[in-house]
């Protein structure tokens, strides 16, 4: 049994009368490769927002390594080791790729509050940012503005910024969404090569990717956990095929 | 009882001023709420309308009420031209550009009016029936103030009914609440904005004319009262007719009463109060309600 | 071991980033020109002093608006606080030594910036715009009402400003001391702002400007950064105001009105914001035009200024420097072989 990294107890979030997420009991193990699937509007992104602290739950708790972090705001959860990417790019579009990653790394190593030394003098931060970019094959775009890059490359920057935070928990919200399939494999390869120290939770619609990447799959429907298991168990479950996989086979 | 009558007449004066504030500001609130456009040139449209109304009366002898209608129409027409050719280019731009653009328009308006008409104050000559005092039963009061209050009430009722009962009103409410949803429902947001912009500018023109009697009318008008209009909108809430109405009454009465009792610190108090109100409810004091 | 050629930290982009804070070749020219002005136009040093103060004020605004992306309409509040600090201390006979007065002006303006920043920066968009406007209007009204201390509408005239360092007299007719003094303060302040802008802190401000939500998601204490930046900017604006009071030997309500707040915004946008030297270019362009036109044809000047603003907002959002950069890029692209 591996150590439990992140878990939720009876987690719920309502918007007015609509319960977007309710009663979710979930656990993410250290080093996990965990996929979260479900039809559109199932509450997957809301769930990620609750884990990362973008939203506060109306019910239940979020626990990181045995510590209740439910009331802790987003920025401080990052310091505790939770990083995420967004379904729609949230990048510093007017800045260069290197600057984007530099900002993340400098926040993590505590350099960002320094106002009397040049940013360029922090060789350690630049080096780490450039190594991350090299890992994602982005180093030749390092000096270009994010807004000038094609969308697929921007998705990679999105991941690079999150990795710059050296998270223990990485939440990926559809990392390849909106990217032509010819390019999406670059992104998914990069995700596949992530260090085994990181517990990864990925929302993904492409079932090939999910079954290739994930060691565990959680199926969410109508804001609740519908099923959870290994890819084999999920693939064999006739009910899931009917509710979810069948629904998507025509996509 | 002298004191009671005194207070009542003071409050009446404040309410009358508040009505003018409301008539000018309501268009600003709706257009800001609808398109998120920071229109600092709204006061310039009020001034333009005021000039059309007062000058057409003074030079062509147009009677008061037709002059008001004329001012409304002319200003609305001019505003449509501006909206379609210039404002529309900046809907997606950042606030800063909208601020610069509209400040630029204000400067140009002030300068043009000074050049073409002159820097002096334009006198509004009220028709005889609106001059003098009227007996309200408990006190004698200025006829024009009573006229302003009556006009204000008619307008707020009309707008409220229009907002609640008509198709356009429903479309405006829907768009203020959630623009993307409204677009996906097939509401033509651009056309809606042109319409409300024209109507809002027309209302501002009415306010400019109606208020010229006690606010004055000179080229600096466009800048002088801008902070007041903005405060009313910020306190009342964006895109809220009734909210702006209450806010305008509140500010109008406060201004009137405070200037009487603490002639020096009144304005200071209003600015301070506005800051506190905005910190307490950044969306505006009356933003909770739907209209 | 990674071979040096393959080491990503030696990639040209990384090297460019590591050296981006180094002074450019052309940067000394700006300061040489400022010195040349002193000798070439001895009869226009009053104008020159006003110009340098405007540059400093616009630089302080650039930090909040150009780098951190805070849209404020009330920046003259801090200019005014600095000016009134110097003015009131000198007029009422408490303290008038120029350099320490200037430091006091910076401290008082910073405190006002910190206090108002802590509340203002909880909001954004229109609310922030309104609050900054109201705060300034509040201070202006307070200065108007506190007649006993501030001189009310007339302000405080004939401030007794002693010799600088006990040696150089502030002569209102031949403002040579003022010019050199203001130029020195501007240079020191500029070096400070330049350091901040190129620091990791400055980089994080640009992150907040570009995408505040993502800054939260990389663990940045956004509010604290903004308040810090706002406070620093207020202190510098306060220094500019203090200089204005010392150079003119008076203060009045124009130091903290909407006119001045709009003017500094126009100066900065005209030159190009988020570029540091935009403040220089904008101030020169604006002040020279204003100097010649505003006195001759004040109304035409206002008309032209309005037109200029409309044109900038619609077509040239990055100001004069932005246009220059675009032309330079086009020129380089043409020269480069395909």
DSSP states of C74-116 as a string? -THHHHHHHHHHHHHHHHTTS---HHHHHHHHHHHHHHHHHHH
The predicted model gives C305-327 an average pLDDT of 85
- In this prediction, residue A250 carries a pLDDT of 38
In a domain, C24, yes or no: no
Phi, psi values for residue B36, rounded to 5°: 65, 30
User: Smallest CA–CA separation between C205 and chain B, in Å?
Assistant: 17
User: Smallest CA–CA separation between C281 and chain A, in Å?
Assistant: 23
The predicted model gives A89-118 an average pLDDT of 93
Angle made by CA atoms B283, C273, C19, in degrees to the nearest 5: 120
Whether the pLDDT of residue B1 is over 50: the answer is no
Whether the pLDDT of residue C338 is over 80: the answer is no
Q: Which residues of B touch C (CB under 8 A)?
A: 32, 38, 86, 89-90, 93-101, 103-112, 114-115, 223, 227, 230-231, 234, 238, 264-265, 267-268, 271-272, 274-275, 278-279, 282-283
- β partners of residue A173: A203
Whether the pLDDT of residue A244 is over 50: the answer is yes
Q: Say if residues B207 and B24 touch (Cβ distance below 8 Å).
A: yes
> Is C71 near chain B, with CB under 8 Å?
yes
At A178, the pLDDT band (50, 70, 90 cuts) reads confident
- In this prediction, residue B291 carries a pLDDT of 40
Question: Over the stretch B209-236, which tens digit does the pLDDT of each residue have?
Answer: 998 888 889 998 888 888 888 888 888 8
Residue of B nearest to C304 (CA): B108
> Is C233 near chain A, with CB under 8 Å?
no
- In this prediction, residue B14 carries a pLDDT of 87
How far is B76 from B70, CA to CA, in rounded Å? 10
Chains A and B touch (3+ CB pairs under 8 A): no
Residue B148 CB contacts under 8 Å (≥ 6 apart), including other chains = B16, B19, B20, B210
How far is A75 from C121, CA to CA, in rounded Å? 17
In a domain, C57, yes or no: yes
Closest CA to B251 of B7, B10, B38, B15: B15
Most confident stretch, B31-45, C3-17, C34-48: C34-48
- In this prediction, residue A115 carries a pLDDT of 93
The predicted model gives C99-118 an average pLDDT of 95
Whether the pLDDT of residue C5 is over 60: the answer is no
C chain contacts of residue A76, beta-carbon cutoff 8 Å = 219
Domain B2-280, CATH: 1.10.3470
* Contact flag A131-C8 (C-beta cutoff 8 Å): yes
Whether the pLDDT of residue A119 is over 50: the answer is yes
At A245, the pLDDT band (50, 70, 90 cuts) reads low
Q: Which CATH architecture has domain A4-248?
A: 3-Layer(aba) Sandwich (3.40)
Range of the domain at C331: 42-335
**Mutate: best of B35, B99, B106, partner C, most C CBs <10 A:** B99
Q: Say if residues C126 and B234 touch (Cβ distance below 8 Å).
A: yes
How far is B17 from B132, CA to CA, in rounded Å? 18
In a domain, C286, yes or no: yes
Angle made by CA atoms C221, C222, C224, in degrees to the nearest 5: 70
Helices and strands counted in chain C (H then E)? 16, 0
B chain contacts of residue C123, beta-carbon cutoff 8 Å = 278-279, 282
How far is A182 from A189, CA to CA, in rounded Å? 12
Nearest to C131 among B98, B105, B275 (CB): B275
C chain contacts of residue B99, beta-carbon cutoff 8 Å = 71, 73, 129, 265
- In this prediction, residue B290 carries a pLDDT of 42
Residue B6 CB contacts under 8 Å (≥ 6 apart), including other chains = none
Residue of C nearest to B112 (CA): C303
The predicted model gives C117-123 an average pLDDT of 88
Q: Say if residues C251 and C155 touch (Cβ distance below 8 Å).
A: yes
B chain contacts of residue C141, beta-carbon cutoff 8 Å = 267-268, 271
- In this prediction, residue C164 carries a pLDDT of 78
Chains linked to C by 3 or more Cβ pairs within 8 Å: A, B
Domain boundary assignment for chain B: 2-280
Q: Tell me the two tokens of residue A234.
A: 């999920």
Helix (H) or strand (E) holding A13: strand A4-15
At B104, the pLDDT band (50, 70, 90 cuts) reads very high
In a domain, C9, yes or no: no
Whether the pLDDT of residue C56 is over 70: the answer is yes
Question: Over the stretch B166-202, which tens digit does the pLDDT of each residue have?
Answer: 888 888 878 877 777 788 777 888 888 898 899 999 9
CA distances to B76, B151, C267, C334 from B101, rounded to whole Å, are 19, 33, 14, 33
> Is C123 near chain A, with CB under 8 Å?
no
- In this prediction, residue B164 carries a pLDDT of 81
Q: Say if residues C283 and C237 touch (Cβ distance below 8 Å).
A: no
Residue of C nearest to A160 (CA): C218
The predicted model gives C207-219 an average pLDDT of 93
Q: Which residue has the higher pLDDT, B245 or B286?
A: B245
Q: Which residue has the higher pLDDT, B205 or A187?
A: B205
Number of domains in chain C: 1
In a domain, C13, yes or no: no
Whether the pLDDT of residue C336 is over 80: the answer is no
Residue of C nearest to B235 (CA): C127
Question: Over the stretch C24-53, which tens digit does the pLDDT of each residue have?
Answer: 888 999 999 999 999 999 888 999 999 999
- In this prediction, residue C9 carries a pLDDT of 75
At C207, the pLDDT band (50, 70, 90 cuts) reads very high
How far is C135 from C289, CA to CA, in rounded Å? 30
pTM for the model: 0.88
* Contact flag A126-C196 (C-beta cutoff 8 Å): no
> Is C146 near chain B, with CB under 8 Å?
no
At A190, the pLDDT band (50, 70, 90 cuts) reads confident
Residue C148 CB contacts under 8 Å (≥ 6 apart), including other chains = none
* Contact flag A96-C199 (C-beta cutoff 8 Å): no
Chains C and A touch (3+ CB pairs under 8 A): yes
Whether the pLDDT of residue C3 is over 60: the answer is no
Q: Which residue has the higher pLDDT, B94 or A199?
A: A199
Mean pLDDT taken over chain A: 87
Residue of B nearest to C132 (CA): B275
- In this prediction, residue B268 carries a pLDDT of 80
User: Smallest CA–CA separation between A26 and chain C, in Å?
Assistant: 22
Helix (H) or strand (E) holding B108: helix B95-116
At C302, the pLDDT band (50, 70, 90 cuts) reads confident
């Amino acid at each position: 049994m591996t150590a439990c990294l992140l878990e939720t107890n009876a987690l719920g979030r309502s918007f007015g009368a609509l319960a977007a997420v309710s009663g979710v009991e979930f656990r993410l193990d250290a080093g996990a490769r965990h996929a979260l699937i479900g039809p559109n509007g199932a509450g997957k992104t809301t769930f990620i927002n609750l884990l990362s602290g973008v939203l506060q739950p109306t019910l239940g708790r979020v626990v990181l390594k045995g510590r209740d972090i439910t009331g802790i705001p987003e920025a401080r959860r990052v310091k505790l080791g939770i990083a995420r990417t967004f379904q729609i790019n949230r990048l510093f579009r007017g800045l260069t790729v290197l600057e984007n990653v530099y900002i993340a790394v400098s926040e993590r190593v505590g350099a960002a509050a320094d106002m009397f030394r040049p940013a360029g003098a922090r060789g350690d931060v630049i080096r780490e940012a450039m190594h991350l970019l090299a890992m994602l094959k982005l180093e030749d775009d390092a000096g270009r503005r994010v807004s000038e890059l094609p969308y697929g490359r921007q998705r990679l920057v999105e991941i690079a910024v999150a990795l710059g935070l050296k998270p223990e928990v990485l939440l990926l919200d559809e990392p390849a969404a909106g990217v032509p399939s010819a390019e999406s494999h670059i992104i998914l390869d990069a995700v596949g090569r992530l260090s085994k120290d990181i517990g990864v939770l990925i929302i993904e619609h492409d079932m090939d990717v999910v079954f290739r990447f994930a060691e565990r799959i959680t199926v969410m429907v109508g804001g609740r956990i519908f099923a959870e298991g290994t890819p084999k168990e999920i693939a064999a479950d006739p009910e899931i095929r009917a509710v979810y996989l069948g629904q998507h086979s025509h996509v | 009882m002298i004191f009671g009558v005194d207070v009542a007449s003071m409050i009446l004066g404040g309410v009358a001023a508040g009505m003018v504030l409301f008539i000018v500001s309501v268009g600003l609130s709706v257009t800001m709420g609808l398109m998120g456009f920071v229109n600092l040139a709204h006061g310039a449209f009020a001034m333009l309308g005021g000039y059309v109304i007062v000058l057409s009366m003074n030079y062509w002898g147009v009677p008061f009420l037709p002059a008001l209608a004329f001012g409304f129409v002319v200003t609305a027409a001019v505003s449509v031209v501006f909206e379609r050719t210039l404002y529309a280019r900046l809907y997606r731009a950042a606030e800063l550009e909208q601020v610069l653009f509209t400040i630029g328009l204000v400067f140009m308006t002030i300068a043009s009016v000074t050049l073409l008409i002159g820097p002096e104050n334009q006198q509004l000559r009220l028709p005889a029936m609106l001059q003098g005092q009227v007996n309200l039963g408990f006190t004698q009061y200025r006829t024009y103030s009573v006229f302003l209050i009556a006009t204000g009430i008619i307008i707020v009722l009309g707008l409220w009914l229009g907002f609640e009962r008509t198709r356009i009103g429903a479309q405006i409410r829907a768009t203020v609440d959630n623009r993307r949803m409204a677009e996906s429902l097939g509401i033509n947001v651009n056309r809606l904005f042109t319409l409300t912009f024209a109507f809002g500018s027309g209302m501002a023109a009415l306010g400019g004319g109606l208020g010229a009697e006690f606010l004055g009318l000179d080229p600096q008008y466009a800048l002088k009262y801008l902070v007041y209009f903005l405060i009313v909108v910020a306190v009342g809430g964006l895109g809220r007719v009734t909210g702006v109405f209450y806010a305008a009454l509140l500010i109008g009465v406060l201004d009137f009463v405070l200037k009487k009792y603490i002639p020096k610190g009144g304005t200071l108090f209003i600015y301070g109060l506005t800051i506190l109100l905005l910190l307490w409810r950044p969306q505006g004091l009356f933003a909770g309600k739907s209209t | 071991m990674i071979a040096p050629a393959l080491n990503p930290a030696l990639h040209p982009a990384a090297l460019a980033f590591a050296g981006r804070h180094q002074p450019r070749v052309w940067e000394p020219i700006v300061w040489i020109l400022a010195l040349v002005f002193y000798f070439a136009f001895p009869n226009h040093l009053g104008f020159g002093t006003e110009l340098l103060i405007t540059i400093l004020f616009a630089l302080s605004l650039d930090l909040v608006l150009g780098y951190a992306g805070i849209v404020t309409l009330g920046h003259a509040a801090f200019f005014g606080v600095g000016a009134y600090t110097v003015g009131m201390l000198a007029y009422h006979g408490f303290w008038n030594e120029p350099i320490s007065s200037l430091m006091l002006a910076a401290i008082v303006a910073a405190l006002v910036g910190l206090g108002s920043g802590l509340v203002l920066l909880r909001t954004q968009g229109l609310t922030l715009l309104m609050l900054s406007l109201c705060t300034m209007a509040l201070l202006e009204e307070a200065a108007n009402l506190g007649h006993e201390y501030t001189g009310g509408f007339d302000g405080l005239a004939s401030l007794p400003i002693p010799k600088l360092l006990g040696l150089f007299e502030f002569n209102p007719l031949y403002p040579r001391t003022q010019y050199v003094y203001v130029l020195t303060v501007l240079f020191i302040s500029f070096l400070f702002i330049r350091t901040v802008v190129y620091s990791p802190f400055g980089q994080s401000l640009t992150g907040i400007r570009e995408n505040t939500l993502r800054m939260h998601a990389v663990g940045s204490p956004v509010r604290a950064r903004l308040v810090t930046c706002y406070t620093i900017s207020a202190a510098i604006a306060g220094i500019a105001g203090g200089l204005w009071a010392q150079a003119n030997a008076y203060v009045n309500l124009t130091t903290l009105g909407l006119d001045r707040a709009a003017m500094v915004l126009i100066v900065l946008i005209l030159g190009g914001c988020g570029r540091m030297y935009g403040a220089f270019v904008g101030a020169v362009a604006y002040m020279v035009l204003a100097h010649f036109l505003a006195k001759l044809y004040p109304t035409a000047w206002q008309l032209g200024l309005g037109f200029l603003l409309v044109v900038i907002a619609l077509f040239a959002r990055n100001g004069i420097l932005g246009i220059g950069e675009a032309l330079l890029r086009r020129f380089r692209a043409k020269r480069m072989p395909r």
